[in-house]
Amino acid sequence: TQQFKDYIAFRVQHQNVSVSTVNQLIGAWKILQTDILGRKWEDFSVKRPRKEKKLSVIF
């Protein structure tokens, strides 16, 4: 689990991946852990990043 978190941190810091890419990685990790390996997700819970909200430009 810590290796996965380190991998996510590496991708964000060094490869500038988007929030949606990180969420896809976490989703794939969740499917692997719960559906394929039969483990409880609570044991591996990883917080998902939120997309930054852009403010409207008003002239």
Q: What is the 3-state secondary structure (H, E, C) of 17-58?
A: CCHHHHHHHHHHHHHHHHHHCCCCHHHHCCCCCCCCCCCCCC
18 inside domain: yes
22 inside domain: yes
24 inside domain: yes
Q: How far apart are CA 34 and CA 15, in angstroms?
A: 28
| Residue 1: pLDDT band with limits 50, 70, 90 | confident
Q: Which domain holds residue 20?
A: 2-44
Q: Is the pLDDT of residue 30 over 80?
A: yes
The residue type at 58:
I
57 inside domain: no
pLDDT score recorded for residue 44: 65
26 inside domain: yes
53 inside domain: no
Q: Is the pLDDT of residue 34 over 80?
A: yes
Nearest Cα to Cα of residue 7 among 27, 22, 20, 19:
22
Dump pLDDT digits (tens) for 35-54. 999 888 776 667 777 777 78
27 inside domain: yes
| Phi, psi dihedrals of residue 45, rounded to the nearest 5° | -50, 130
pTM, full prediction = 0.71
Tally of domains in the chain: 1
